[in-house]
Chains A and B, each alone.
Chain A
Amino acid sequence: MSKVADYQIPRSALGWMLLSVLLVMLPQSLHMPFWVTFLTLVCIAWRWLIFTGVAAYPGRLLRIAIVVFTMTLSVSQMRSSGIGLDSAASLLALGFVFKLIEMRHKRDVYVVISLCFIMAMVNFLYSQSVVATIYTAIVIIVITCAMLALNRSHLHPVGRGNLRLATVMALQALPLTIVLFVMFPRIAPLWAVPMQNSSGTTGVSDEMTPGDLAQLGRSSELAFRVQFEDSLAPLHQDLYWRGLVLEDFDGQTWRRTRRGSSYSEAASLNDFRWNWEDRVRLGSQALRYNVIIEPSNQPWLYGLHLAQPLNRELYQSRNFEIFNNGVISKRSSYDLISYRGSATDLILLDSARRRTTNLPGRGNEQSVAFAERLRAGVQSDRDYVYAVLAHFQQNEFYYTLNPALLGEQRVDDFLFNTRQGFCEHYASSFAFLMRAVGIPARVVVGYQGAEYNPYEDYMMVYQYNAHAWNEVWLEGEGWVRFDPTAAVSPERIEQGVEAALADDPAFREQSLFSAARLGSLGWVNALRLRLDAIEYEWNRRVVNYDEDVQSDFLANVLGDVTDQKVLFVLIALAFVATGAIALTVISSEPRSRRSVADSLYYQFGKELDKISLGRQRGETPLRYRDRVCAAKPELAQLVTEATRCYMELNYHTGVRKQDSAGQESTTYGSNTDSLAEFRKVLTQLRFKLLPFGRLRREA
């Protein structure tokens, strides 16, 4: 058996390499099963032991066993959690870390380094935040270090320069990265791993049972960010981010009326594309704004009533809800125009009236009786609405995240017994009281309020801003928004949920790092807003730079975008980049640091070059003067003067004096005077040679 001597990887290279493996695997260990992390550490340790000579490379049998083990594990993981990002990434990670202990030859080392780069990119599948990007950049520098250390020859042994050089190299790659990011066509993948299939849905759901929103109220996760264009944002109490309209009530749960079997199918139905202007009286104030929504794994979106989507993939439902074509599985951006003060459905169709006044046949009799009694006491539907709101306000109702449990007759129990509730209790019972006397009413879920970020001028809406309110149909006014929670706890609407629930222990313990908690610490809050602002800008400008934005941008820059044009620009940029690099390389040679006198003399030679009397390398000033004087006697005086100035400046043609005591001292012509004179002579020479310069240029 012929045995090739094993390649001995340099110590520093191995060190850098294991470090990069560790750094690459670190963020992924958050998403991967524990045993993958464990195997990573084992393999790193093993490789180091191989290097130190304590352990041996794995034998053939062990390697086969490892392959079988990996495949079995991966298959079993795919069976349990499906083929998705997690299982694919852990398969890749396993192969990657096992390659480490098999790394015998230089070729293997290069394979591992390439894999390191790929694994660093895999991290982006999980997170594309600023922090993740900076982290990946650092990881790339470390991997480059490993490459550098690997290629250090004996002449350039281990140096501290590795890190610096790697950073410089990474910085050099930056312009190319930017160009490719901006220009390179976003090609749809031929195949795709289903992304993040394991994460659940978040945000407001299309069913509302009292208690649901209270759960959300405890979450300080971000729901979406909003930026208003060229107009002032509405006041806090007007920030009703309308999500879904729930019309069906079965005594416990409010549900959205589903017409198709799923939302995406409904999108394809033609009757969703009705001409909505017919049912709308538009308000005068139009607000344009952009929303960046966090992944919710649900198709509905949020906006201020009455919102008209500006993106193609969005559509509106009958009830002016906004839907995305498909669930929001990644952070997405959309633009809306809201017409505030709009009225909808001035004429209510019979079918809609039936739907929005429907109550289960039995149950909550006490409430029904209360409603009928109250309705009898007032003149109009509107008065009745105010009477109900006044009832909430004047009686002992409490706004809390931790309401008491409700019995079978939920509305009765809430209205007459517990009287403690979160917004959904009020919205639910309010709608019930409306419907009980035949007034069309429905529940709207969404978010209310926002936190303003002054650094980038946008608003942040958190999950704890989740809210439910009502819309009541009034004759001649259409659907009008009423918020019973505002009657119970006005500060919830005016100042936000943080203010309303500041004393509520359930809210405080969940939102440890939220504004409510840290708002009192000025600088912490400022820092939090600042970081969020950076993240927001990053999402807006970088993460959201998709195919559409790219084509818009390129259209702005290049006019009509064709593939040829993009290709042409790419090639041109490649040329420019190569040229720039070449220039840098050329100019990075030690540049001559000419003194003033030298550069003046250099210009002097350049001037005379116009009449083909340029200075030659290695020609001494005196010989040069002689040559020029012989060729152009009329310039003799100027040239002699310039040469004299130059020699005086450079070689200190000083005058040696002997004073009375016999001491010798050398005095040099004061430099500034000589320089001034030199400049003067040079100007005269320029003037004299002006015609020659012009002649040459014309030629």
Chain B
Amino acid sequence: MFSLNLDKRSDDRAELVDNQFSRQVQTAVDEISRALLGKDHQIRLALCCLFSGGHLLVEDLPGMGKTTLSYALAKALGLEYNRIQFTSDLLPADILGISIYDQANAQFTFHPGPIFNQVVLADEINRTTPKTQSALLEAMEERQVTVEGQTRKLPEPFFVIATQNPANLAGTYPLPESQLDRFLMRLRLGYPDQRAERELLEMDTEWDKVENVKQCLGKEEVIGFRRESANVNASGPLLDYVQRLIAFTRSNDEFHFGLSPRGSLALMRAAKTWALMCGRNHVIPEDVQTILPAVVEHRLRAVSDNDGHTGASIVQRMLNEVDILQ
């Protein structure tokens, strides 16, 4: 049920195996793409990110559908979600929650902030100050929040889907590399293609479309993907290939710095989930190549790139240069 059938002439998705996992993914993708037209691949990557238990950063210009994607994802997966609009005057307490003196009980009661949700939509995360950013990012890494000396666990699963505007736009506080590293993937949506745009124009307002998205997977399925992806087999030759990719970022002069071990772990985790999402129980180079740009682009920086965040071209070079064979 997991093995490839190459004799089937499926022209574009030969790595896809039809089984329970791939069918579930297909359903979710179909559902979400009702809200976000023509972005199947990005939706798949976003799902992969969430199934891997990682946080997602969606970066693009305003009005490209970042928030739509986030909402649609949360809705389709049937997770409780809350949205935080990041502004420059937002404070950590606005995210984490605050204890307020309750006169009735004559004591302080903790009022949990919006972070205590399964999915947190952190909209325009780079428009707030580093102080507030770090409050969120700490929660992302630890999956717990310490407020007023008390540590509170965040719900399970816990995802942060953050959106941000490209760093060079006005009124942004770029995320430092250390915090960018905490996002498993960074996606760019890009302009819709001609057909999708036409369809978009023919439809009603955007909000309606998100309303249309129905829950198609549940919390159990999401956790099930996470559990199952740990059993996906990565063979020796494949790990060799991944290591060559990582070594390339560390040895090549074009990279400002190489990929961190956290980055390489993220790469492997995402590749395994992707393999599972394609219905396979083993990772093949295609999986690695597919998820690689989303996983490593925001962690790498070209030497020639001064304002950061544009690893795309060198990542493409990396894919072209590093051979599958030893």
Given contacts A598-B326, A626-B14, contact A651 B237 (CB under 8 A): yes
Q: Which residues of A contact B3 (CB under 8 A)?
A: 653-655
Please provide the chain A residues from 627 to 676 with a CB less than 8 Å away from any CB of chain B in the complex: 640, 643-644, 647, 650-656, 666
Give chain A's interface residue range (CB within 8 Å of chain B). Answer: 20 to 34
B7 contacts the other chain (CB 8 A): yes
Q: Which of A197-205, A262-270, A362-370, A612-620 contacts B (4 or more CB under 8 A)?
A: A612-620
Report yes or no: B321 in contact with A617, Cβ–Cβ below 8 A.
Answer: yes
Binds B, one of A2-10, A318-326, A330-338, A589-597: A589-597
Q: Name A622's contact: one of B7, B15, B233, B238 (CB within 8 Å).
A: B15
- B residues near A617, Cβ cutoff 8 Å: 320-324
In the bound complex, CA of A551 to CA of B254 (Å)? 58
Is B284 touching A595 in the complex (CB atoms < 8 A)? no
A621: CB under 8 A from chain B? yes
Cβ-defined partner of A625 (8 Å) among B14, B238, B326: B14
A618 & B237 in contact (Cβ 8 Å cutoff): no
Q: Does A79 contact B (CB under 8 A)?
A: no
Contact of A650 with B237 at beta-carbon distance under 8 Å, contacts A593-B326, A625-B6, A640-B6 already known: yes
Q: Known contacts A594-B325, A623-B286, A655-B2: does B238 contact A618 (CB below 8 Å)? A: no
Given contacts A620-B284, A621-B285, A626-B11, contact A650 B235 (CB under 8 A): yes
Q: How far is the CB of A670 from chain B (nearest CB, A)?
A: 15
Give the CA-CA distance A381 to B135 in the complex, in Å: 132
- A654 and B321 CA atoms in complex are apart in Å by 29
**What is the interface residue range for chain B against chain A?**
20 to 34
Question: How far apart are the CA atoms of A626 and B322 in the complex, in Å?
Answer: 20
Q: Tell yes or no: B98 within 8 A of A by CB.
A: no
The answer to the question of A464 belonging to the interface, with a C-beta cut-off of 8 Å to chain B, is no
Pairwise interchain contact B284-A601, C-beta atoms closer than 8 A? no
Q: Which residues of A contact B312 (CB under 8 A)?
A: none
Residues of B within 8 A of A652 (CB): 233, 235, 282
Determine whether the beta carbon of B284 is less than 8 Å from that of A598: no
Interface membership of B165, Cβ < 8 A? no
> Within 8 Å of chain B (Cβ to Cβ): is A455?
no
Least Cβ–Cβ distance between B51 and chain A, in angstroms? 19
Set of chain A residues within 8 Å of B201, measured between Cβ atoms: none
Nearest CB in chain A: distance from B285 CB, A = 4
Nearest residue in A to B320 (C-beta to C-beta)?
Answer: A618
- Cα A650 to Cα B320 in complex, Å, equals 20
Q: Give the Cβ gap from A650 to chain B, nearest Cβ, in Å.
A: 4
The reply to whether B324 and A619 contact each other, CB–CB distance below 8 Å, is: yes
A residues 568-607 near B (Cβ < 8 Å) are 592-595, 597-598, 601-602
Chain B 283-326 per-residue mask, 1 if CB under 8 angstroms from chain A, else 0: 11110010000000000000000000000000000011111111
In the complex, B4 has a CB within 8 A of chain A: yes
**Nearest opposing residue in chain A for B238, CB measure:** A651
Closest Cβ of chain B to A490, distance in Å, is 80
A651 touches B320 (CB 8 A): no
B284 touches A618 (CB 8 A): no
- Residue in A618, A623, A626 whose CB lies within 8 Å of B323: A618
Q: Bound state CA distance, A304 and B289, in angstroms?
A: 87
Complex CA–CA separation, A325 to B295 (angstroms) = 89
Tell me how far the C-beta of A590 lies from the nearest C-beta in chain B, rounded to whole angstroms.
Answer: 10
Q: Is the CB of B237 within 8 A of A598?
A: yes
Complex Cα distance A548/B287, Å?
Answer: 73
B203: CB under 8 A from chain A?
no
| Chain B contacts for A598, CB-based, 8 A | 237, 325-326
Min CB distance B153 to A, Å, is 32
Query: B281 in the interface, Cβ–Cβ < 8 Å?
Result: yes
Residues of B within 8 A of A595 (CB): 237, 326
Q: Does B1 contact A (CB under 8 A)?
A: yes
Q: Which residue of B lies closest to A595 (CB)?
A: B237
| A602-B322 in contact (CB<8A) | no
Partner of A651, one of B282, B289, B321: B282
**3 closest residue pairs by CB, A with B:** A620-B285, A650-B237, A592-B326
| A to B CB contacts below 8 Å, 12 in the list | A592-B325, A617-B320, A617-B321, A619-B324, A620-B289, A621-B285, A621-B324, A626-B14, A650-B237, A651-B285, A652-B282, A654-B3
Q: A619-B324, A640-B7, A653-B282 are in contact. List 20 more A-B contacts (CB 8 A).
A: A592-B325, A594-B326, A595-B237, A595-B326, A598-B326, A615-B325, A618-B319, A620-B285, A620-B324, A621-B285, A625-B6, A625-B14, A626-B11, A643-B6, A647-B284, A650-B235, A651-B282, A653-B4, A655-B2, A656-B281
